[in-house]
Amino acid sequence: MMELSTATVWAFGVVQCLGWSVGLLARFSTGSRYQVVAHAFFMVTLVAVGIFTALSFLLGTQCWLLSATTLAGMILLAICDFDRHRRPATI
């Protein structure tokens, strides 16, 4: 297993926290005037978390599972419909 520097661990932690917070920001900005900016920032952060996931897996560190969980959580925040009462029932 590879030994990580302190700066790498901090960068990893910042990217994970940024991923969750931007995912929630993109979810809660739906319908506001900042929706386009929040969704664009979400896409950039999604790519960054994906790159960190691949790099941590390739480096052989055990942190890739946390990063993969963040990536999956961001994807679920993007595609899940939490506002069902606005839609009419189809059946």
Domain that holds residue 67: 20-78
Confidence of residue 73 (pLDDT cuts 50, 70, 90): very high
Using the predicted structure, report yes or no on whether residue 1 has a pLDDT greater than 60. Answer: no
CA 60, 66, 72, 74 torsion-angle sign = negative
pLDDT given for residue 77 in this prediction: 87
Task: Identify whether 30 is part of a domain.
Answer: yes
Task: Identify whether 37 is part of a domain.
Answer: yes
Task: Identify whether 8 is part of a domain.
Answer: no
Task: Identify whether 86 is part of a domain.
Answer: no
User: What does the pLDDT look like over 41-56, one tens digit per residue?
Assistant: 999 999 999 999 998 8
Q: Which residue has the higher pLDDT, 56 or 72?
A: 72
Determine what percent of the chain is predicted with pLDDT higher than 90.
44
CA distance 36 to 79: 16
CA distance 80 to 9: 30
Q: Provide the phi-psi class of 31: left if phi over 0, else alpha when psi is between -120 and 50, else beta.
A: left
Considering only the C-alpha atoms of the chain, give the largest distance between any 2 of them, rounded to a whole number of Å.
Answer: 56
Listed range (41-45, 47-51, 58-62, 77-81) with the worst mean pLDDT = 58-62
What's the domain count of the chain? Answer: 1
Say if residues 34 and 68 touch (Cβ distance below 8 Å). Answer: no
